[in-house]
Structure formats: structure tokens, C-alpha cells
Structure 1
Amino acid sequence: MTVIKRLGMWFGLPAILIALWWASTAQGVNFFVPKPDKLAATFVNVWFSEKFFSDVVPSMGRLLISLAVSLVLGVALGVAIGLSRTLRWLLEPLLEFIRAVPSTILIPVLLLLIGINDTMKITVIVLGCLWPILLNTIEGVRSLDEVLKNTALVYRLRGFDRMRYLVLPGASPLIMAGIRHSLAVGLILLVVSEMFASTDGIGYSIINFQNRIAIPEMWSGIFLLGIIGVLLSVVFQAIQKRVLGWYYGLKEASNDG
């Protein structure tokens, strides 16, 4: 029954929306909104071809590299700032200033400084994805459970052991929340950067289809982004369940108690 409920949650609403879409387009031809069967055929023809390797693969490479860089920088800086009141006092005004500047605004500047290449697009994505991870890591480190801190003192955990067994596990729920937020931000910034300045990628293809008035192809790119977003969410949830298994177990034990 649980599996059936989950399938219903995943596919129930999309099935209803597709049925409504089909009904609304069945009576006539709308140039700007293709029928579902037309869109499905276009999707297969466009993306199950060489475009998968020429556009999808480069986009996913940029996104994954950007997320990896954001994760390393965000966690490292977040732990350092979270553990040090002095660093927080010195860096907080600067961090708030930089965070307030949307990374998309920097695209013209980065184009002048770096040029139209992958480094520019990765920089744009990192500048957007870094903040959810960084801020959540700082908050996670600052809000470590006092019982865990006292336990670490009793067992004389210092240096790397303290980081491994206390700081990172204690902050991991908020860190994972920041990563999940960064996934959505990264996908948006990927598309925007490719639309503004690129010669390949999903965003480039969508804007190119629009310029050519290839409406079904343009919609197929939009649906591809939705599918990628769902797949990233599913993979992340599986990783999160494994990484935070101890946390969910602790919560269940607390609720049972």
C-alpha cells in the first residue's frame, strides 16, 4: 500500500495535468502550445540524438562541477566562520554585501573578465550556489547540541577527530538542506548563463529554438529541465537518507519515547 501511495503522489498530479492539457488542445491547433503526443515525439527526436552529447552532457558537467566547488568552499568556510566569533565579526558585513548581489548581474562583468567559456558559467553558478551551503553550515556549526559538545570534551576530542565526530555530523542536517536549495539555484543559473553566453548547452538550445520559432522543440527543452530537476531531487533524497540515517533514527527514537 505504501508503494501505491508513493506512486500516486509522484504520478497522480502529473497525470491529471497531462489529461487537462490534452483536453484543452484536442479541439484545435494552438501554434504556441503543442499537443502532448506532438511534444513527446519531438522530445524523443531532439534529445535522444547527438544533442544529448553536444548539449545535455556539457550542461550536466558544468552543474556538477559547480555544485562540487560550492560544497567544498561552503562547508570549509562555513565551519571556519561558525567556530570563530572573530571571523564572524570580521566577515559578516562583507558576506552580507556579496550575498545581496545576484550572481546573474555579474554575467556582463564576468564576460569581460573571463570570456565566453565554461569557467565563466561555472563561476556564475558557484556564486549563486555557495550561499545556501555556506549560511546553513555556519548556522549548523553555531547551533551544535550542548550535550554533544560536552560529550566531545569528556572524550577529549581535538582537531580532526572533533571535526569528524562532532562538528560535521552535528551540522550535517542543515548542510544537506543547504545543498538541496543549491541544486535548484544551480539549475536555474545554469540555464540563464547558457542563454546569455554560450555555444552549447540546454539553455543555449532553448533560446536557439525560440529564435528559430521551433515551438515544440523549445517546449521539449523546458520539459527536459523539469525531468532533470526531478532526477536530481530523487538522487539527492537517496544520498540524504543514507548520510542522515543516524539523524532520522534519533528523531524516530525521540518520538517513540
Structure 2
Amino acid sequence: MSAPEVTSARRAPALRLLTAAALRLWYLLALPAALILLWWWAGAVSGMYYLSSPDVIAATFAEVWFGERFLVDALPSVARLLGGFALAAVLGVALGVGLGLSPRLRALTEPVLEFLRAIPPPVLVPLLMLLAGVSTGMKLLVIVSGCIWPILLNTIEGVRAVDPVLADTCRCYGIGRRRRLTTLILRSASPQIMAGLRQALSIAIILMVISEMFASSSGLGFTIVQFQRSFAIPEMWTGIVLLGLIGFLLSVLFQLVEKRVLAWYNGVRAATRGE
């Protein structure tokens, strides 16, 4: 093989990687770009005051959120969101493991859990305001009241689905309860637990905004409502865009964590498919 042919053979894999990366970038950016252009066109054609164009929103975004307001409103909202989500995760997984391992306890508590799960969390905001006051604790309780259910129910189902043969094998080999809990039960239930956590994360964002809209003097929900009431429409849109960006970033971070936690599970699935 001549020198030019060797050089071409070495460049071929690099070109394929670059082509694949370019196609992936195109897939990621094509739809958002098309939606922004559609938004731009709709705003220009309709001439509606309440439909601000993307360029106006982008310019206003820098004025509103690149400064003190981000520290006063956005960061506390994210902190409350993450705090409520973490508390719901701990409670949901702990209660879910206990109920999943105990059929009698699950049968005893199932009617009450089904009743509480049917209550929409936003309806609890006035009650929680009376019980906990207008405070950070109230906002955390609102987030927990909605986030705990997908985590709890998915954990119960994940624990119930643990292979009984593996459980009997652990007992035969004298593996203790704590070791069996960490190495078998939680590990086997982790795919469904992560699915519940993924659902709870989107619910946490919604309830964080709702809790701040009802009773608060700061936060993203409060700020968006204040902009709307004062007819600061571009500013209102910037708050909505910021919420979308926060949700997107949290989703990406969760996917990275999920990929790391479920690396063993993804490896088993890939081996089963023969990849």
C-alpha cells in the first residue's frame, strides 16, 4: 500500500467521527432553531403586544437576569427546588422499600396512600400556608407533597419485582439484612427508582413555581407574576425562558447521574441485545 493510501485509511475514521458529530449537532439544533424562527414570524405577522419577538426577549434577558435579580430570585428558587426534591427522594425511597418488603404493611396503608395520592398538590398550598406559614418550609412541603408519589410508587414496584431466587440465595448464604438491602434490593430496584426520580424532577419545577406564585416575596414564580401584573411582557417572557433553561440543565445533569448509577443495568441490556 502506498503512502497516500495509508494516509487516506488513517483519515477515514476521523472523518466518520466528525460527520457523526456534525449530524448529531444538527439534530440537536435544527428543531429549536425552527421553533425560534416560527416564533419570530408569528410575532411579526400577528403584531400582538403580548407576543414579544425572540430578539427583544434576548436583549431583555441580559438586562433582567445578568445581575442582582438572579441572586435574589433565581438561586433561592433553585435551592428550594433541589431541597424539596432531595427530601422527597429520601422519604419516597425509604417508605417505598419498607412497603415493598412488607405485604401486610402495604395492604394496610394502600387505601390511605391512594386517597392522599389523588389530592392535587396545588390544592394543599392554602392548607400548608395555614400550618407552616408563608415560609421556605411551606414551599418545601408543597414540592415534597407532589414529588414523593412517583418515587414512592416506583420504589414499591421495584422492590416487589426483585428476583425471589436471588433473595433466597442471599438467605442461604447467610448474607445479612443490611448487605442484602444495599447489594440486592436497592440495586435491583434502581432502574424503577430512577424512573420515579425523573418524573419527580419535572413535578418539582412545576410545584416550585406554583408555591412562589401563591405566597412569596421573591423567587421565579413571584417575579413572573409581578412582571405580568405590571404589563412588563418581555420581562415576563425572560422569566419563562429562564425556567425552561433551568429545567433543561437539570434534565441533562440527571441523565448524567442516571447513566452513571445504571451503568451496570445498561451494560446488561447491551449484552442481552448482543451489542
Q: TM-score range by the shorter chain?
A: over 0.9
Residue 101 of structure 2 aligns with which residue? 83
1:225 aligns to what? 243
User: How far does residue 147 in structure 1 lie from its aligned partner after superposition?
Assistant: 4.4
Question: Aligned with 1:204: secondary structure?
Answer: helix
Tell me which residue corresponds to 2:14.
none
Asked whether 1:30 is paired with 2:33, we answer no
Alpha-carbon distance in 2 for matches of 1:255, 1:149: 26
1:99: which partner in 2? Answer: 117
- What corresponds to 2:32 in structure 1? 14
Larger Rg: 2
RMSD: 1.4
Range that drifts further, 204-213 or 103-112: 103-112
Q: Deviations over 1:174-230 (max 9, x none)?
A: 000000000100000000110011110000000000000000000111111111111
Are 1:176 and 2:176 counterparts? no
Q: Is 1:249 equivalent to 2:267 in the alignment?
A: yes
**2:68 pairs with 1:68:** no
Q: Are 2:252 and 1:237 aligned? A: no
Determine if the alignment matches structure 1 residue 41 to structure 2 residue 42.
no
Aligned equivalents of 1:115, 1:97: Cα separation in 2 = 25
Q: Identify the match of residue 139 of structure 1 among 152, 157, 162.
A: 157
Aligned to 1:54: 72
In the alignment, structure 2 segments of 5+ residues that lack a partner are 1-18
Deviation at 1:101, TM superposition (A): 0.7
> How many corresponding residue pairs?
257
Instruction: Tell me which residue corresponds to 1:118.
Output: 136
Q: Structure 1's 230 and 156: CA in aligned 2 closer, same or farther, altered over 3 A?
A: same
Task: Tell me the TM-score normalized by structure 2.
Answer: 0.90
For residues 163 and 6 of structure 1, the distance between their equivalents in structure 2, rounded to whole angstroms, comes to 40
**Structure 1 vs Structure 2: percent identity of aligned residues?**
52
The CA distance in 2 between the partners of 1:219 and 1:210, in whole Å, is 9
Does the residue aligned with 1:59 lie in a helix, a strand or coil? helix
| SS of match in other structure, 1:156 | coil
Counterpart of 1:38 in structure 2: which amino acid?
V
Q: Secondary structure at the match of 1:107?
A: helix
Structure 1: runs of 5+ lacking an equivalent: none
Aligned partner of 2:3 in structure 1 is: none
Match for 1:4: what amino acid?
A: A
Query: What is the CA-CA distance between 1:12 and the residue it aligns to?
Result: 1.4
Distance apart, 1:11 and its partner CA: 1.7
The TM-score normalised by the length of structure 1 is 0.96
Amino acid at match of 2:183: Y
Find the aligned partners of 1:196 and 1:10 in 2 and give their Cα distance.
Answer: 36
More divergent stretch after superposition (233-242 vs 18-27) = 18-27
The whole-number CA distance in structure 2 between the counterparts of 1:130 and 1:203 is 21
Instruction: Quote the Cα distance in structure 2 between the aligned partners of 1:138 and 1:250.
Output: 23
* Distance (Å, rounded) in 1 between the aligned partners of 2:56 and 2:159: 51
Could you list the per-position Cα deviations for residues 144-187 of structure 1 after superposition, in whole angstroms to 9, with x for gaps in the alignment? Answer: 12443244234332211001100000000000000000010000
